[in-house]
Structure 1
Amino acid sequence: MRARDLAEPYPAVSADGDAVTAARLFVDRRLPALLVLDSDQRPYAIVPGSQLLRVVVPNYALEDSAQALALHDTELERLAEKLAGLTVAQWLPRHRILPTVVGPDTGIAQVAALMIRTHTPLVAVVESDGQETRTVGAITAARLMEHFLTQE
């Protein structure tokens, strides 16, 4: 079994796209991660949902759980307000998370190992003809687990 066999179409957003629109896609589709493509339709970033929340919680609360405990919901800024006017690239964590990418012939054990090592629920499958690289789909952790559960 190869990556191409498990890759499925996956909604993606442009790095130059509107951050609020991307957040709504993420929520409406209940995605495990946001797949961000550059202007050439190549993976720019794959950001797990937990990291997308970083814009809402103040840095001091991330560093000290006691500080986070003391925060009240009213003190947290609304996500839509924080994202208004930002592009997706501006929304991403300060240190961009490089996309987890595999070729179509990558074995599924390698895909699983990559997900485990990088703590990501999503791997993009890309194809290259030497001059151009294009995203052909993605494999989610849920899809991979489904495969392993149904193996005879």
Structure 2
Amino acid sequence: GFKYDSSAYPSWAAWALRLLVRLKASGTSPNVHLPSLESLFANAEPYLVEKNQGNLAEIPVSSSRWLRLPYYHTMRFLLPSAVFNAVESSTLARSGAINYILHGVDFIELHDPNVPQELARHPGMSIGIDDKLAGINSTLRRICAARNAVPLKIIAQAVIDARK
């Protein structure tokens, strides 16, 4: 089974943004999950969740220091560039693991005839694929310049092993 989860959002802003997406998509019955309110101030570093079925490493979505603004790719399309860059700098300056999330919609464009037009509501969908990929590439290069990039399963195993 799975050894880790990376869906925790220890950020007040992530909750507010998901609520905004849910409200913006009114009439289309969006499947937007709102994080629990207690998770807003949860641990921002990876931690172990002990369950009867076994232990699970929680690797929260990264957030900036102090303000706890979420740092994941969709934010690039929701925030002004200067704000996103400040969130990125603050997040990369934190100690601990960085979990930068990309979604499937980050790798497609609406001009593709195989892409359903319902995806137009997702942030960044008006951007062409070449520009999207260039943005992903430059962000990943900055992350890799600041950190040692490893798969989440490596971080998860370190969290699990630390409890042994």
TM-score past 0.5 threshold: no
For normalisation by structure 2, the TM-score amounts to 0.26
Bigger relative contact order, structure 1 or 2 (CA pairs below 8 A, ≥6 apart): 1
